[in-house]
């Protein structure tokens, strides 16, 4: 299994000042939406180092601020069940706010998200997250093997994901189980919304 753990799979170390502020901001075990937003804005400053220290992964995250986007994407998904839709999340590191990109439409297996920036804000706006839907079917919820490959970027992850992704399709392992397995393999933290309150995302234990 060693070959799946190359040194460069993990993001570069954060600058010392930033690390402290991200560390303090992410420490609470439950994040309300304003904290979540502030964390995303601070992560935007890091640009390519958009990661939270794993030791500070909260148990609960409140996501009501994404409601409009989630409702709209779900509506589109219901209307056009066979194609993917996406929307990017941008932070402005000077204005300290969050804005959304346009909703974009893809085909049945992929979608490009809007990477444009507002006029005059090219230097300060940064994309820190994305939403996207999957066509209804096997991977209609959760991340797909291709999503993980995109997210983890490094070449070495591709072999693992092709393998597990292939097994996943062959065995019809549930999407949740596949996501858990990949998170456990790469030390990622996984969250799922709860039925009683779709705005609340709870951490899922990936190692039993
Ligand atoms: Zn996807």
pLDDT in tens, 162-184: 666 666 655 656 778 888 888 88
Model pLDDT, residue 171: 60
Model pLDDT, residue 105: 96
The sign one gets for the Cα dihedral 95, 96, 97, 102 is positive
Distance 58 CA to ligand 1 centre (A): 24
3-state secondary structure of 31: strand
d(Cα 30, Cα 44) in Å, to the nearest integer? 21
Please choose, from the candidates 47, 48, 58, the residue with its C-alpha nearest in 3D space to the C-alpha of residue 23: 58
Distance 196 CA to ligand 1 centre (A): 25
Distance 148 CA to ligand 1 centre (A): 8
Distance 121 CA to ligand 1 centre (A): 28
Distance 54 CA to ligand 1 centre (A): 23
Helix (H) or strand (E) holding 136: none
- Of residues 71 and 136, more confidence is placed in 71
Kindly list the protein residues that place their beta carbon closer than 5 angstroms to ligand 1, a single-atom ion. Answer: 144, 147
d(Cα 78, Cα 86) in Å, to the nearest integer? 14
Contact 41, 91 (CB under 8 A): yes
Distance 129 CA to ligand 1 centre (A): 13
Average pLDDT over residues 148-158: 69
Place of tokens 């997250």: 129
Distance 165 CA to ligand 1 centre (A): 13
Model pLDDT, residue 10: 47
In this model, does residue 8 exceed pLDDT 50?
no
In this model, does residue 159 exceed pLDDT 60?
yes
Distance 50 CA to ligand 1 centre (A): 19
d(Cα 61, Cα 64) in Å, to the nearest integer? 9
Distance 119 CA to ligand 1 centre (A): 29
What's the N-to-C CA distance of the chain in angstroms? 19
From residue 155, alpha-carbon distances to 1, 49, 149, 166 in Å are 15, 18, 8, 17
20-48 confidence digits (pLDDT tens) = 677 888 899 999 999 999 888 888 877 65
Q: Which residues pair with 85 in a beta bridge?
A: 105
Burial of 107 (0-12, 13-18, 19+ CB in 10 A): exposed
**Whole-number percent of the chain with pLDDT over 90:** 34
In this model, does residue 9 exceed pLDDT 60?
no
Distance 36 CA to ligand 1 centre (A): 22
d(Cα 186, Cα 176) in Å, to the nearest integer? 16
Model pLDDT, residue 151: 75
Model pLDDT, residue 4: 40
Distance 133 CA to ligand 1 centre (A): 7
44-99 confidence digits (pLDDT tens) = 877 655 566 667 889 999 999 999 999 999 899 889 988 999 999 999 888 889 99
Token pair listed for 137: 């079917």
Model pLDDT, residue 7: 41
d(Cα 189, Cα 124) in Å, to the nearest integer? 28
Average pLDDT over residues 122-147: 81
Model pLDDT, residue 2: 36
3-state secondary structure of 122: coil
| Beta-strand relationship, 60-62 and 197-204 | antiparallel
Model pLDDT, residue 1: 34
């Amino acid at each position: 299994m060693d070959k799946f753990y190359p040194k460069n799979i993990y993001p570069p170390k954060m600058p010392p000042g930033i690390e402290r502020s991200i560390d303090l901001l992410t420490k609470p075990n439950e994040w309300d939406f304003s904290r979540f937003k502030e964390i995303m804005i601070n992560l935007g400053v890091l640009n390519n180092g958009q990661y939270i220290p794993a030791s500070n992964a909260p148990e609960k995250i409140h996501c009501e601020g994404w409601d409009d986007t989630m409702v709209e994407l779900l509506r589109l998904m219901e209307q056009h069940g066979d194609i993917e839709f996406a929307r990017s999340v941008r932070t402005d590191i000077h204005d300290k706010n969050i804005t959304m990109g346009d909703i974009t439409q893809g085909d049945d297996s992929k979608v490009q998200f809007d990477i444009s920036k507002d006029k005059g804000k090219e230097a300060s706006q940064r994309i820190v997250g994305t939403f996207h839907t999957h066509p209804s079917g096997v991977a209609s919820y959760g991340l797909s093997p291709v999503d993980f490959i995109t997210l983890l970027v490094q070449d070495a992850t591709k072999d693992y994901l092709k393998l597990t992704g292939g097994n996943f399709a062959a065995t019809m392992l549930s999407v949740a189980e596949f996501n858990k397995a990949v998170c456990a393999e790469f030390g990622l933290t996984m969250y799922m919304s709860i039925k009683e309150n779709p705005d609340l995302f709870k951490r899922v234990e990936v190692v039993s």
